[in-house]
Structure 1
Amino acid sequence: MISLDDIFVAREKMRGMIHQTPLDFSKTFSSLANNEVYLKLENLQKTGSFKVRGSFNKMISLKMGELNKGVIAASAGNHAQGVAFSSSLLGIPCTIVMPKGAPLSKIQATRRYGAEVELHGTVFDEALDYALELKEQTGAAFVHPFDDQYVIAGQGTVGLEILEQLPDVEAVVCPVGGGGLIAGLAMAIKEQKPDVKVYGVEALACPSMKQSLQAKKALSIDSMPTMADGIAVKKPGELTFKMVQKYVDEVFCVDEMEIARTMLMVLERNKLLVEGSGASSLASLLYHKIPIVNKKTIAVISGGNVDVSFISRIIERGMVEAGRFVHLSLSLKDKPGELEKLLGIITTLEANVLNLSLEHIGEKIFPGYALLNLSVETKDHNHVEHIIQELTKKGYEIQK
C-alpha cells in the first residue's frame, strides 16, 4: 500500500513537467445539480487526460537498467498517450498495445508521440494480457495503467491540487475504470481531510468496481459497449480495489444517454471538449445519482480525447434529445409545386430545413406519390410537436 508521502514525492518529481489543471466553477451546472459545482479540468492536462501523471511518475521511478529495453503498456487510449509522451521526454523506446476498437484519434496521437502501436483484442483486458506476454518475451519494463503504486501515487497528485484549490471542498466525484485515479485521489484527500466525501462513477455498461465492492473482492465482469471507453475495465486492480474499499464512500453508475447529454452540455455551456469517461462524473451530479445537496462539490473531468467523427454523432443525438433537430418522413404528391408548397409551410413555422431527399420507388410509395425525408432544425420539443400538428392538419401523413 502506498502512503501520502509517496503522493507528495510524486508531485515534486513531476513539478514543471505536468500541468496543474484549472478548477472551474460552473453556475449553470450548480443550478442543475443543486450543488455548488466545480470542474477539475484534467482534459486540459498534457496528452488530454490525467493519465500522464501516473505514467510519468512510474517511469521516472524506474532505474536506468530497467529502461534499457524500453517500456510496454496496454491502454484503450489515454494511458497510451501518457506513456508515449513520457517515453519521448525520457528518450526511451515504447510499445503500446491497444484494443482493435480504440478510437483512431487516440491511436494516431500515441504514434505521434513516437510509440510503436500494436492492436490486439476487442477490449482493454485482452490488450492487457497480450502486453504482459510481450513483456515476458522482450524483457521490457511494464507500465500498468492503474494497478501500480507509482501510477496510483502519480494520479493522487490530482487530490493534492484539489485541496489546495478549494480547501473547503465537501465532496469529490471521480470517474472509475481500473481505479488508479480514484484510489490515489481518495487517499490524498481522505488522509488529510477525512470528512470530505469521495464518490466514484462508472458507466452502467461496465460497473466492475461497483460489483466488486458488493462482492467484497475484485471481480471480472461481462460488459456492454460504452462511449466511456476510458473507464470500460472489466476487472479493477487488486491494489486499487483495496484502496477504494478503504477510502471511497460509494460508487454510482450513469447510462449512455446521460453521458452523451452531459458531453453536449459541457461543449455548449463551457466550450470544453470532454470524452465519455470524463463526462461521467458530472453526469452523475446533473442526473442526481448521488444523494448530496448544497455541497461544495468537485467533478473530476478526467479526459478530453474524443474522436472527431464521434463528436458529430454526439452533437446530433444531443440535439434530437433536446428537440432541436428532428427527422421527418412524409408522403408527398409527385407534382410540380408540391415540394415548394411544403417547404413554404415549414418556413412559416420558423423551422430550418437542413437536408431533404425524395424517393419515388419503394414498397410503401404509391403511384403518383413520393416519400420525402427531411432533417429539420427546431427550437425545442414543443416546436417539433407544433410543426407535426400543423402539417397533419394540412393533410400530410407524418412519420417521425
Structure 2
Amino acid sequence: MFDTVQAAHERIKAVAHRTPVMTARTLDQRAGAQVFLKCENFQRVGAFKFRGAYNAISQLSDAERARGVITYSSGNHAQAVALACQMLGARAIIVMPQDAPVIKRQATGGYGAQIVFYDQATGDRRAIAEGLAAEHGYTIVPPYDHVNIVAGQGTAALELYQDAGPLDALLVPCGGGGLLSGSAIAARGLCPDCRVIGIEPEVADDATRSFRTGTLHTVSNPPTIADGTRTPYLGDVTFPLVLEYVDDMQTVTETAIINAVRFLFYRMK
C-alpha cells in the first residue's frame, strides 16, 4: 500500500504545506533521545486533515464534484473538506452539530460550504449524511475511514522520514486511525525497522483496547482535552490496517497531555 501514499504525495504536494520538522535540546534531554516533531499545526486549516481531504476529493470526477461532496464533522475535517472543495471547484455540504464552536462554524462556512446542523442528543451525523447522499447523489468523504483519506494522511510521515532520516520509533496520535494507519504504511515503505506506536488519551482508549484484543472496542464521548481523538471507534478500513502495520499502542493521562502542551508552548522557541 505504500504506493498509495507516494501517489497521494505527488497529488497534494503543490497545494499542501510541507510543514516544518522541529527539534529542541531540552526535549531531547528529557526524552533521552533525539526527538523530531512534525508540526502539522502549520498545515492548511491548522491540521493534517487537509492532506487526506484534498487527496480524496481531487480523485473525484467533475460530475461527482458538481453534484456535491458531503461529510460529517465539527472540527478539522469539516474545514479541510470545505477548503479542498473550494480549491477544486466542488460543492461542499457539512453535517455539523448545532452547538459546534462558533469559530469552527465560521471557518467552515467561510470556505463556502453549506452547513447542515443537527442535534447531537437526538441525531446521528453519519446517518444524516448517508441519507442526504442517497437523496441528492452526494459523494461521502468520511473523516478517516477511507483508503484515499488514509493515503493522504500518510504523506505527513513520508515527509518526516524524508526530512529527518531513518527513525527508531514513530509515535502517532490516534482518533479514528487515519493518520496512524497512513503513517504506519509510510513507515513500512521507508523505514521497515522503525517501531510505529499509536498514542491515545487514557480516557479514550478504544483503539488501544481494540489493538490488544483484536476485537473492535468503542468509547462514548470521552472527556479528554485532546478533542481530536474523541472518535468512538476505529473504522472498517483503519482497524485492519492498525492491526497489520502498527507495532504497539500506548495511552497517556490528561495531566501528561496538558503538561506536554505547556512544555511545547513555553520551550519550543
TM interval, shorter chain, is: over 0.9
* Matches of 1:262 and 1:130, distance apart in 2: 37
Instruction: Give the match for residue 247 of structure 1.
Output: 245
AA in 1 matched with 2:147: Q
Q: TM (normalized to structure 2)?
A: 0.94
Secondary structure of 2:67's counterpart equals coil
1:94 to 88, 92, 116: 92
Instruction: Give the match for residue 31 of structure 2.
Output: 33
1:118 Cα deviation after fit: 2.6
1:71 Cα deviation after fit: 0.6
Change beyond 3 A, Cα 1:37–1:102: farther
AA in 2 matched with 1:28: T
* Matches of 2:13 and 2:260, distance apart in 1: 32
AA in 2 matched with 1:148: H
Give the alignment of 1:211-222 within 5 angstroms: 211-222=209-220
Instruction: Give the match for residue 235 of structure 2.
Output: 237
1:47 aligns with 2:45: yes
* Matches of 2:157 and 2:48, distance apart in 1: 11
1:269 aligns with 2:267: yes
Give per-residue Cα distances to partners, 1:283-311, cap 9 Å, x unaligned. xxxxxxxxxxxxxxxxxxxxxxxxxxxxx
Instruction: Give the match for residue 157 of structure 1.
Output: 155
1:143 Cα deviation after fit: 0.5
Q: Give the count of matched residue pairs.
A: 268
Instruction: Give the match for residue 145 of structure 2.
Output: 147
AA in 2 matched with 1:190: R
Tell me if the contact between 2:167 and 2:191 (Cα under 8 Å) persists in the aligned partners.
no
* Matches of 2:117 and 2:257, distance apart in 1: 27
AA in 1 matched with 2:212: Q
Q: Output the aligned Cα RMSD.
A: 1.7
1:103 Cα deviation after fit: 3.2
* Matches of 2:35 and 2:232, distance apart in 1: 30
* Matches of 1:257 and 1:132, distance apart in 2: 38
Instruction: Give the match for residue 76 of structure 1.
Output: 74
Change beyond 3 A, Cα 1:258–1:101: farther
1:221 Cα deviation after fit: 2.7
1:121 Cα deviation after fit: 4.3
Alignment gaps of 5+ in structure 1: 272-400
1:243 Cα deviation after fit: 0.7
Structure in which a larger fraction of residues adopt helix: 2
1:58 to 56, 59, 64: 56
1:89 Cα deviation after fit: 0.3
Q: Which has the larger radius of gyration?
A: 1
* Matches of 2:13 and 2:42, distance apart in 1: 16
Alignment gaps of 5+ in structure 2: none
Tell me if the contact between 1:76 and 1:230 (Cα under 8 Å) persists in the aligned partners.
no
Secondary structure of 1:245's counterpart equals helix
Tell me if the contact between 1:218 and 1:238 (Cα under 8 Å) persists in the aligned partners.
no
* Matches of 2:256 and 2:120, distance apart in 1: 25
1:112 to 103, 110, 115: 110
Give the alignment of 1:267-306 within 5 angstroms: 267-270=265-268
AA in 2 matched with 1:201: I
Instruction: Give the match for residue 198 of structure 1.
Output: 196
Tell me if the contact between 1:21 and 1:45 (Cα under 8 Å) persists in the aligned partners.
yes
Secondary structure of 2:18's counterpart equals coil
Give per-residue Cα distances to partners, 1:190-236, cap 9 Å, x unaligned. 12321101111112222121121133132333342222111101111
Instruction: Give the match for residue 131 of structure 1.
Output: 129
Q: TM (normalized to structure 1)?
A: 0.64
* Matches of 2:253 and 2:244, distance apart in 1: 26
* Matches of 2:164 and 2:174, distance apart in 1: 22
1:66 Cα deviation after fit: 1.7
1:122 Cα deviation after fit: 3.4
Give per-residue Cα distances to partners, 1:86-113, cap 9 Å, x unaligned. 0110122211112345333222211111
1:137 Cα deviation after fit: 2.2
1:9 aligns with 2:7: yes
Instruction: Give the match for residue 180 of structure 1.
Output: 178
Secondary structure of 1:199's counterpart equals strand
* Matches of 1:35 and 1:126, distance apart in 2: 44
Give per-residue Cα distances to partners, 1:257-283, cap 9 Å, x unaligned. 222222222111125xxxxxxxxxxxx
* Matches of 1:248 and 1:95, distance apart in 2: 33
Give per-residue Cα distances to partners, 1:110-135, cap 9 Å, x unaligned. 11111122333439x93233222222
Instruction: Give the match for residue 101 of structure 2.
Output: 103
* Matches of 1:92 and 1:182, distance apart in 2: 28
Tell me if the contact between 2:21 and 2:39 (Cα under 8 Å) persists in the aligned partners.
yes
AA in 1 matched with 2:250: F
* Matches of 2:259 and 2:131, distance apart in 1: 39
